[in-house]
Structure 1
């Protein structure tokens, strides 16, 4: 018998390095009872740059950055509780993803910084963290972990399979929902999401990202550079498969104008998603897009052209695109607390369904 649904806060800080998403969800880890408020707390620029430096340093001085990151998450929890008119006593768990610094599952390594014990003390709320390590230890890719939540959302909304849910954060990943059972799920990272575009804009303009895809819209796709980008062996490899934020290089677009480079990298993201369709057993009826990439009008247009199916932001079916991954880690915290699986052979390649998480009391 399932327990009564509880209010849980999910926390997500993704590979785009834009900040912390925090969301309230009332759930038992199997179904969704109620959506609560959500918010985004942008990283302070100094903390963002410290995290960015860690990505390229091998993790030196990670302890100090992890403490600052954890404190920022505690501030996000406090702000969300205030917004919701709740207190720590109203919350059963925090689902704390942390910030991914390294993801090398083929080497048996995945590393998310963040101190779960400290967060539990700072917030007064029991905390679940380290969602990925158990999967990697069992031979899985450790990602993506959101598919079980995508499936719960689809059931909640009564959406017909086959359905594709595309998340465009720093890295792109898809969940293919082929039927009503969790065993009908297939998931994998498709390729770059926003990371290459963001890094290009950061280094070649005064912007941290291509707002609305406006810069790409002014450029022309360099087909030769695009083909070099698509020659990466990752795209022909069958799932399960996952990526680190820095697995792809923008070297083929070096020397292009800011506009042409942005257009080509945007086309690369769209084409990499299209390449992923070859690994699915059926063509999906539609593609629902979450993550920051859905705000990029040029990217959404290119996806529609490349996929040749309806491509819509998840708001079209009433989902919360900016906070869906934070909601997912609330859902996964509930599952972890019950010892339910967080990943499946079809979603990460793990040998059998596996739970996970580390648990900290205040």
Structure 2
């Protein structure tokens, strides 16, 4: 039995910072197992956050420079973490940070130059997990469902609440997954306007009132009526959601309250539409930053009713599940096994995705 010792790196659309998870991953019989040994969250400086947030608007030359700069920064943070860790690391699996995602145009780009990351960290790197799937006519997202399937088979639904919400589940012998829509992006946008990093436990949202007119506008957005496979991202948020927030005349607390109700209505609709998967009581695993928001979780359980139990795991798994899954995807890539599912992305075939880089000595 071979145990892979991997650093998983993840930066999500919510722009909270870089998540690093040192994971042991191994296959025993037909079952993949994991242990998250050490973790770190590296906060972005205000300058870095703005740089990444505005990457979509950069010129080609400036975007390429950011790609290089961010790759070096990822390598520096990885090396600092490994030096402090003092333990053996086989390789680094990096998601990067998504700057462009328009799969309908054949475009997706994850910042963080893999060669410079490898050179700076001194470790082999696996990265760029989305491009191959998009070249196969897939959405290039979501990618985490392979981890849901292999690491968390005991749950009927796996829900991730990062900047956006996505879900995965088994149906007809296949893994199905797609981006439902919003999660933390509008909440963080509103709290940042208030000078806060986030709404702790959803206390501000809980104190607000429902804006029925805004709720109707949100629920009527075209994206929700599109069939899966589908994925969304920052472009959709800025063009469709930000104008609604900026034109609103209600309090920030009411906005937070309304967005959580909207998020939970769309999530509940997605879950209940697919029934109980043959069980009288279904279990839904909730991870990502939204799972730390108690008002979000209470509202979601209320919308789902008694037929679906919302399970919130320990805080490490809540915050670092995506970094763990990218570590697993790196392992699968090096073993030559499928790590992106066509049933999830709509691609013409499953794929073993990811580019591999070795440190260059200069």
Picking from 147, 151, 162, the partner of 2:149 is 151
1:109 to 86, 107, 130: 107
Q: Is the 8 A contact 2:107 2:134 kept in 1?
A: yes
TM-score (norm 2): 0.89
After superposition, the Cα gap between the structure-2 partners of 1:178 and 1:24, relative to the gap in structure 1 and judged at 3 Å, is farther
- Judge which range, 137-146 or 244-253, deviates more: 244-253
Shift of 1:251: 3.2
Q: Deviations over 1:299-330 (max 9, x none)?
A: 11111111222212122xx9711111111111
Superposition pairs of residues 106-145 of structure 1, within 5 angstroms: 106-145=104-143
SS at the partner of 2:50? helix
Misfit runs of 4+, over 6 Å: none
The within-5 A match list for 1:217-256 is 217-248=206-237, 249-253=241-245, 254-256=248-250
Aligned length: 346
**Partner Cα distance (1:265, 1:56) in 2:** 27
Give the aligned partner of residue 257 of structure 1.
Answer: 251
1:287 equivalent in structure 2 = 284
RMSD, matched Cα? 2.1
Deviating more after overlay: 74-83 vs 268-277: 74-83
C-alpha deviation, 1:238, in angstroms: 1.8
Q: In 2, are the aligned partners of 1:54 and 1:60 still within 8 Å (CA)?
A: no
Query: Once the two structures are superposed, what CA deviation does each residue of 1:167-212 show, in whole Å capped at 9, x if it has no partner?
Result: 0001110111459xxx531111010110011112222x11132222
5 Å matches for 1:1-362? 4-28=2-26, 31-57=32-58, 61-86=62-87, 90-155=88-153, 159=154, 163-177=156-170, 183-203=173-193, 205-248=194-237, 249-253=241-245, 254-277=248-271, 280=274, 282-283=276-277, 285-308=282-305, 309-315=308-314, 320-362=317-359
Alpha-carbon displacement from aligned partner over 1:255-290 (angstroms, at most 9, x marks no partner): 211111111112121122123226536457021111
Distance 1:319 1:185, change over 3 A: farther
Distance of 1:265 and 1:332 partners within structure 2:
32
Alpha carbons of 1:202 and 1:35: their partners in 2 closer, same or farther (altered >3 Å)? closer
Gaps of 5+ in 2: none
CA distance in 1, matches of 2:221, 2:98: 23
Separation of aligned partners in 1, 2:260 and 2:82: 37
Report the alpha carbon displacement of residue 339 of structure 1 after superposing the two structures with TM.
2.0
Deviation at 1:347, TM superposition (A): 1.3
3-state SS of 1:321 partner? helix
Structure 2 residue matching 1:76: 3-state secondary structure: helix
Counterparts of 2:256 and 2:57, CA distance in 1: 23
Deviations for 1:101-139, whole angstroms, at most 9, x for unmatched residues?
111111111111111000101111111111001101101
Q: Offset of 1:84 from its aligned partner?
A: 3.2
